[in-house]
Amino acid sequence: MTTVNEYHSEVLAWIEQDPDLETVAELKALLKASEAGDEQAQAEISDRFSTRLSFGTAGLRGAIAAGPNRMNRVVVIQAAAGLARYLLANAHEGKTPSVVIGFDGRKNSEVFARDTAEIMSGFGVEAMLLPRMLPTPVLAFSVRELNASAGVMVTASHNPAADNGYKVYLGGDDNGSQIVSPADVHIAEQIDMVAAQMNVGELARGPFSTIPESVIDNYISQTALVAGTYASSAQPHFVYTAMHGVGYETFAAVISRAGFGTPEVVAEQNVPDATFPTVEFPNPEEPGALDLAYVLARKTNAELIVANDPDADRLAVAIPDESTAEGYRRLTGNELGALLGWRTARELGLTNKTGTLACSIVSSPALSAVAEHYGLDFRWTLTGFKWVSRVENLAFGYEEALGYLVNPGTIRDKDGISAAVALLSIVSELKSQGSTLSDHLDEFSMTFGHFASEQISLRVSDLSEIPRLMTSLRSSQPAGIGGIAVATVDDLLAGNSDFPPSDVLRFWLEDGSRIMVRPSGTEPKLKVYIDVVSREGELAQRRNDAAQRLSALAFGMKELLGL
């Protein structure tokens, strides 16, 4: 085992520069325990100091604790200094770079945001801080609205309560989208240089300005326009949960401006709370996360449940379903993405406009069917909304993990609030016609085909198992899966004209089904995405056929992976 002596000087240097009394005390206690022979403390110090928290296209994200491999004030200050150096090095001659900074309600979010503003100002970057905790989409909007060089959002989105994160956006030619390579590499190089050569306690700090309320009001006004003319058609009666996050204040202002009524609110989850006391994971995709919303919906006989994740960049929706124990069924990200994309395609058709529909490669092919039906362009992108948001002439984009962009002219990131407004306008229009969202899903199946999806996640304890499985699938490509012949296989590892290199295998089957296999980007998992479509017969027949083929393909993939 690596001993703490290897890191003793690094630990002491960290304590000397750390401005956070809590993490200083934590690290001192670990150091004392390790010096007394506590092997667990030694292992903990080794884990925290043997590497740095990686800065990449997702920025930074990790548990809040002391050390370079955790989220804390030292790491954040180093990141701010590195980003400032990057912006200064890439600024146009004679132009002072600027940055907009936002934060959510998690532990230390405001502290990290203020550190960022002061440090970047100290380096000569114009720093502007949002006036209070606000959703991530407001920050993404502000980068474009203020023509800033960059944006920083301090959030860990729907991660567990112990985590926090640091998401970076770029203005200018990047149009307010999240960073992609090679910018992430160059920023990381600057951060590493700061960490190696500078003491954060000695870095200059400067003044910053507070963004005026008018910018937030502009976000509210422009997002409310997404509703179109449908808000007054018929008011949907719905339940809303903010999942202990920062979404409700802004969401309520937007829907009021759009003309929708006040929702039934899950009171226990409506106020920002960094401990997320009612959910194990504050992610509306997780089992149990919507339980309180289901209870309130049953009590109030709601037509709909609308949920944002804690930073409100994702949207979950549930509809009545008597076949479930809860009385409601959460729509999948693919179902909601298909309906929102259909709405966009219809509107483009009515106005004789063109545009591109786009989604990540692990999302359902349903959106491509919508684009084909309306004669619109369609693009697949790599996973991650940073790629979806950069599609040229984008009219609508989504990823199956509950991320949707319905108004790319206003914002270039997923936005759970504008997506909710678009969804409410659909429900309002349907209600005025005596129809429901469930009926609309059936209509989609009869118009474009009944699409069905399933995911398989193989969690491993040995990370080397994932590349071994990917190598095995590449070297011994199956002729058939689940009794269905494989037509073609796309290996994206080498990259192509559509995608940069990515560790992804895509199997197209003879019956039109598709299977994607890739390592998870955030967890020790191999993920499999299975999609089928049925276009023959009436609705019941299409559903049954799709379900049978989905089951056969899932069984076949589990056999291939040895599950």
Residues with catalytic roles: 157
Q: What single-letter amino acid sits at 14?
A: W
How far is the CA of 412 from the CAs of 150, 195, 247, 537, in angstroms? 13, 31, 18, 40
CB atoms within 10 A of CB 13: 12
CA-based nearest residue to 237, from 331, 300, 303, 330: 303
User: Which residues are CB-contacts of 76 (< 8 A; sequence separation ≥ 6)?
Assistant: 60, 112, 115, 116, 154, 166
Instruction: State the pairing for strand pair 480-481/484-491.
Output: antiparallel
Q: 372: which 2 tokens?
A: 């084909």
DSSP secondary-structure letter at 60? E
Which backbone phi and psi does 458 adopt, to 5 degrees? -105, 105
CA distance linking residue 442 with residue 451, whole number of Å = 11
Q: 420: which 2 tokens?
A: 């909710």
Helix, coil or strand: residue 253: helix
CA distance linking residue 503 with residue 517, whole number of Å = 9
Question: Do 65 and 79 contact (CB within 8 A), yes or no?
Answer: no
Q: Please classify residue 323 by burial: count the beta carbons closer than 10 Å to its beta carbon, then call 0-12 exposed, 13-18 middle and 19+ buried.
A: exposed
Question: Do 176 and 169 contact (CB within 8 A), yes or no?
Answer: yes
Residue 57 half-sphere exposure, CB side, CA atoms within 13 Å? 13
CA dihedral over 297, 303, 309, 310, signed as positive or negative: negative
Beta bridge partners of 397: 358, 405
E strand map for 238-339: 238-241, 264-265, 304-308, 315-320, 328-330
Q: 306: which 2 tokens?
A: 């609308």
Q: 373: which 2 tokens?
A: 């039906």
